[in-house]
Amino acid sequence: MWPLNRPIQIAIFGSETPNHSCGLPWLANLPAPVTHIAKSSHANACNTRWQSILAFCGLSVLSPLALAGSEEEIAQLKARIESLEEQLARIEARFTPSPETVKEVPEGRLTTPSSSTHSHRRQAPEVRVSADLRYRLDSINDAAVSSRHHHRVRARASATTRLTERIAVGFGLSTGGVSNDSGNQTLGDGFSLKPVGLDLAYFDWSVSEQLRLVGGKMVNPFYRPGRHHLLFDDDLRPEGLALSLDSGRFFGNASVYWAEERALGPDSLWLGIQGGFRGPISEGLAYTAAAGFYEITNTQGRLPIFTPLGGQGNLLDSNGGYLYGFSQAELSGELEMDVYGYPVTLFLDYVTNTAADTHADGIALGLGIQRDFEPGSWHVSYVYQDLDANAVVGAFTDSDFGGGTSDTRGHVFRAGYWFPGGWRIALRYIDAERGRATDLPRDYRRLQADVGFSY
């Protein structure tokens, strides 16, 4: 039994009087079995913890007092304990948020009170990343030079993100160095590092559900029948501004591209406009038809675009400048039909350069059978192409057919197969003739075997 001449002290952390004798005069000289009680930092556990401590204190104190038989002193101690409970309730209230200040937090998203009002601005937008890799065996037999057999790779990666419901931005890198129409990089230069360049950098603003404005370095938006490369190579990334309209059956494109910026002369702009229709003709038969006009300004008499030391098939004047300008009118179309369960495509692409007096026309005719780009699908195709020297800008046309120039004529055979897991194999054989406008025609044959991966 505790002697009555030893005090019991209760110290409350955070109270104005850290040490006192519970307000009982006769306890002034008594030692305490309990000296300090620390307030818990967890508000929800505070009440239970303090009630347990107070119960312990009460039992510790009441037991000797009961033995002393002082009912008056017991009543005083009970009153003091009730006072302490009220004080603890006030302390607990300071750490317990009111229902009005508590907001429901969505699942998977936690914020602090200081950042909750701006969390929508701090939340990182979703970024979509895509990439592809192609390994190619490229065998070239050009009658003007020795045959060449080399291995090449192309690696590309791009990222896009949507900042708002209407605005997206994109960025991409590709091998190929400073090439304007190919990402291929030849292997075998002493194991050297291979150059990587800016392939894409654009914004895409959806003005409405049907109208888009794209600016920067972008994927070419102009329609190409059969995805053929008569005017523009597939890897060509125009630079400038483009407006695209798609209302379902009607589509259109317009562009202001900077084809060549000159510090000491007027720039060459690529001003393009295209419109077309598409839709069903009958069950299993659909069509697409389009017309376009493309003006490449300030080209006649000036050094060739991208390759100032050579016209890439275009005829040049005595000073090495373009002999003619470029005002290209294009008619194109394709038919898609179901033939015994096989999707068959027929296409036509015709272009004429109204600014040139000679060698001004180009045409491509193609037939393709292609399943969807799914595992187990395949495709085969054939294209005949006849492209005059001045019909198109040589720097922009197909980089593989006839050596990547205009002034070519010949045939293209293709086949491919898609495997599960995002990889594929493909073959392309080109049997062409080049150099007819210079009266020095020569054969050009090329075989390409590809293994590609998309991820």
CATH of domain 126-454: 2.40.160.10
Decide if pLDDT at 71 tops 90.
Answer: no
Dihedral of the CA atoms 395, 396, 397, 401 (nearest 10)?
50
Query: Which stretches within 235-359 are classed as H helix?
Result: none
Helix (H) or strand (E) segment spanning residue 338: strand 326-339
Distance CA 407, CA 350 (A): 15
Q: What is the mean pLDDT of the chain?
A: 84
Which tokens go with 301?
Answer: 């008499």
pLDDT of the residue at 146 = 82
Q: CB atoms < 10 A from the CB of 266, how many?
A: 11
pLDDT of the residue at 439 = 85
Residue type, 296: I
Decide if pLDDT at 432 tops 90.
Answer: yes
| Residues 433 and 409 sit within 8 Å (Cβ to Cβ) | yes
pLDDT of the residue at 94 = 66
Helix (H) or strand (E) segment spanning residue 150: strand 148-162
Q: pLDDT tier at 274 (50, 70, 90 boundaries)?
A: very high
pLDDT of the residue at 440 = 87
Query: Which stretches within 69-203 are classed as H helix?
Result: 71-95, 113-116, 119-122
Q: CB atoms < 10 A from the CB of 110, how many?
A: 9
User: Averaged over 175-193, what is the pLDDT?
Assistant: 92
pLDDT of the residue at 74 = 79
Q: pLDDT tier at 99 (50, 70, 90 boundaries)?
A: low
Rg of the chain, C-alpha, whole Å:
40
Distance CA 57, CA 452 (A): 78
pLDDT of the residue at 91 = 74
Domain layout of the chain by residue ranges: 25-100, 126-454
pLDDT of the residue at 81 = 83
pLDDT of the residue at 379 = 94
Closest listed residue to residue 259, CA positions, set 181, 162, 323, 156? 181
pLDDT of the residue at 224 = 96
Helix 43-68 vs helix 71-95: angle between axes, to the nearest 10 degrees? 170
What are the pLDDT digits (tens) for 144-180? 888 999 999 999 999 999 999 999 999 999 998 788 9
| Residues 285 and 337 sit within 8 Å (Cβ to Cβ) | yes
Decide if pLDDT at 69 tops 80.
Answer: no
What are the pLDDT digits (tens) for 388-412? 999 999 999 999 999 999 999 999 9
| Residues 149 and 139 sit within 8 Å (Cβ to Cβ) | yes
Q: Which of 27-41, 170-184, 317-331 has the lowest mean pLDDT?
A: 27-41
Q: Which of 56-60, 282-286, 313-317, 418-422 has the lowest mean pLDDT?
A: 56-60
pLDDT of the residue at 70 = 64
Distance CA 417, CA 424 (A): 6
pLDDT of the residue at 89 = 77
DSSP character string of 228-267: --SSS-TT---EEEEEEEE-SSEEEEEEEEEEE--TTS--
- Contacts of residue 317, defined as CB under 8 A and 6 or more positions apart, other chains included, come to 301, 323
pLDDT of the residue at 51 = 54
Which tokens go with 390?
Answer: 């001045």
Q: pLDDT tier at 121 (50, 70, 90 boundaries)?
A: low
Q: pLDDT tier at 361 (50, 70, 90 boundaries)?
A: very high
